[in-house]
Structure 1
Amino acid sequence: MGEYADLPAVRTWYETEGAGDPLVLLHGGFCTNDTWGALRADLGAACRVYLPERRAHGHTADVAGPLTYQDMADDTVAFLETVVAGPAHLVGWSDGGVVALIVAMDRPDLVRKVVAIGANFRPGPECFAEPSMLDAMTPEGPDLAFFRELYEPVAPDGPDHWPVVAAKVIDMWRTGPTLTTEDLARIEAPTLVMAGDDDLVTLEHTTALYRAIPDAELAVVPGASHLVPLEKPALVNRLVLGHLAQEAVETMMPIRRAKPGTAEAAAL
């Protein structure tokens, strides 16, 4: 069961599970907490898991005006301050991964570690493997039918509000996010960048994201798409929990992570 938190900008629905270090799961665009179903039990066995549904998603109402990544990040900061009451690990999938990255940039004091799954830092036309998909999406079309079925039964704005939300999300994907590699370089939290090998976001863009974040780690999951948490949940859970548990990355022959003054760095 879930409950509402009265945050400054939006009354936000959330659920909790488990005990331990706080972990906030940030779902993808158009999604609800139902899409975490394959992961949340294992994560809840290791952590105190918080699952907020963002504005215009699931049980949380829409807010007047456009939908932006910055506004959703600000909501997440308020959730961390109000509900979690301190720093937490952030695991974000797709749009949730973008939100996690922005929160890590804006409020490093509230972020312990980050996992960004299928995330992007530039607008869809610049980084989607098939940018034309944005032109094909319509509120009542088959491409969004799965998401419409998630939205309509639980949305506090009612099922008739779906076309408004669909248009807002598609517009957000066309125009955002607009982060730079300089922005990403501000992230201090240990970060795991994860994607499927056949992801919606190109591998070239995913690699650029990984390279821009200091000391980030990269996991490309074989035989997986943008829906990798649904397709390979056991592997995704192992990667997430391994990242959260490790103190530091230690390898036998570091190149990118070679520290100044070491033999490895001197050889480069």
Structure 2
Amino acid sequence: MHLPHRNFSLLVLCLVALGTQAFAQPKQKAPGSYAKINGLELYYEVHGKGRPLVLLHGGLGSTSMFGDNLKALAKHYKVIAVDLQGHGRTADIDRPLSVELMADDVAALIQHLKLGRADVFGYSLGGGVALLVGVRHPELVNKLVIVSTAFRRNAYYPEILAQQGQVNEGAAEMMKQTPMYQGYVAIAPRPQDFPKLLTKIGEAMKQDFDFSKQIASLQAPTLVMAADADLFPPSHAVEFFGLLGGGKRDGGWDGAGRPKSRLAILPGLTHYNVFASPLMVSVALPFLQEGT
């Protein structure tokens, strides 16, 4: 999960280049539903038909941030797009923002909807949540797609760690002109909670973490994706892949030596536009469809 504080102007320019529809949406009736999950009124939308795929957004985002990529996935899957705790149309509750707790929320939703085993696809914060769903609830997960997600805090570039340390409610006023803020207030049940959300995100980003041991025990085949100009070097994604058993030997002329997991470094992209790039879905689909 990442929100640069000193580089707000750069972030805004990135979002404007994508089109503000990725975040800012006019007020409208919610097209989805709510489930009572772990004290939350957890918002979710269902798009398409077929095998279930749970789609998880990044920090300060919502289901709408995937735009056309959600539609592309829904051509092949029953996509359950979730607004995580305190994001989008899911109001916050009195508990920390934690990938572990949010993973339990997603697992409870999978059970609530009687999906059986689902594929789980997450970007940034959502990627961390997806990872922990796979670790804590392996019986509910078929495959994982994890995009632009560090599994160890010290993998972030030093300047990113410094910026993360400055995220708090004091940034709320500065953000009022950004598509992120405008998108939040357009759909949030309590728009006045935005400063509190920034504080919670800032507190969460200051917590050290290292999921190396958990990744090594992961059962679900996993596609690790990162932009080639992400918040961490491409070598971190390679390390992630290695913990999944990848990169240990030649795959063989017939592919018999390939690991069950996959790695993709997406060229010409950054953390701020990878989620909207059609390349993300075009790479993920063959992995998700393999063996089905």
Normalised to the residue count of structure 1, the TM-score between the two structures is 0.85
Q: Which runs of 5+ in 1 are unaligned?
A: 249-268
Q: Which residue of 1 aligns with 2:172?
A: 139
Match of 1:161 among 180, 185, 193: 193
Q: Which residue of 1 aligns with 2:268?
A: 223
Letter in 2 for 1:219: A
CA shift, 1:8, in A, is 2.8
Mapped partners of 2:173, 2:134: distance in 1: 35
Pairing 1:1-268 to 2, within 5 Å after superposition = 1-123=31-153, 126-129=154-157, 130-137=160-167, 138-142=171-175, 145-156=178-189, 158-176=190-208, 178-214=209-245, 215=259, 216-226=261-271, 227-230=273-276, 232-233=277-278, 235-247=279-291
Q: 1:245 to 1:169 in 2, by over 3 A?
A: same
1:131-171 Cα offsets, whole Å, 9 max, x none, are 22214442333599332222112111x22211001110121
Letter in 1 for 2:216: A
SS at match of 1:85: coil
Large movers: runs of 4+ above 4 Å: none
Q: 1:142 to 1:136 in 2, by over 3 A?
A: farther
CA shift, 1:85, in A, is 3.0
Do the aligned residues in 2 keep the contact of 1:97 with 1:117 (CA within 8 Å)?
yes
SS at match of 2:232: coil
Q: 1:207 to 1:144 in 2, by over 3 A?
A: farther
Mapped partners of 2:79, 2:115: distance in 1: 13
Mapped partners of 1:127, 1:142: distance in 2: 27
1:28-54 Cα offsets, whole Å, 9 max, x none, are 111011111120111111011101111
Q: 1:94 to 1:144 in 2, by over 3 A?
A: farther
Residue-pair matches, total: 242
CA shift, 1:229, in A, is 2.2
Mapped partners of 1:143, 1:133: distance in 2: 19
Mapped partners of 1:64, 1:20: distance in 2: 36
Q: 1:21 to 1:85 in 2, by over 3 A?
A: closer
Mapped partners of 2:269, 2:54: distance in 1: 24
Do the aligned residues in 1 keep the contact of 2:175 with 2:181 (CA within 8 Å)?
no
Mapped partners of 1:141, 1:84: distance in 2: 42
Do the aligned residues in 1 keep the contact of 2:165 with 2:205 (CA within 8 Å)?
no
Q: Which runs of 5+ in 2 are unaligned?
A: 1-30, 246-258
Mapped partners of 1:21, 1:164: distance in 2: 37
Q: Which residue of 2 aligns with 1:252?
A: none
Mapped partners of 1:40, 1:237: distance in 2: 9
Mapped partners of 2:214, 2:102: distance in 1: 17
1:173-206 Cα offsets, whole Å, 9 max, x none, are 2215x23322111111110000110011332322
Identify the structure with bigger relative contact order (alpha carbons < 8 Å, sequence gap 6+). 2
Moved more, 25-34 or 139-148: 139-148
Do the aligned residues in 2 keep the contact of 1:9 with 1:75 (CA within 8 Å)?
no
Do the aligned residues in 1 keep the contact of 2:156 with 2:231 (CA within 8 Å)?
yes
Mapped partners of 1:23, 1:85: distance in 2: 9
Do the aligned residues in 2 keep the contact of 1:27 with 1:93 (CA within 8 Å)?
yes
Mapped partners of 1:133, 1:198: distance in 2: 17
Do the aligned residues in 2 keep the contact of 1:13 with 1:59 (CA within 8 Å)?
yes
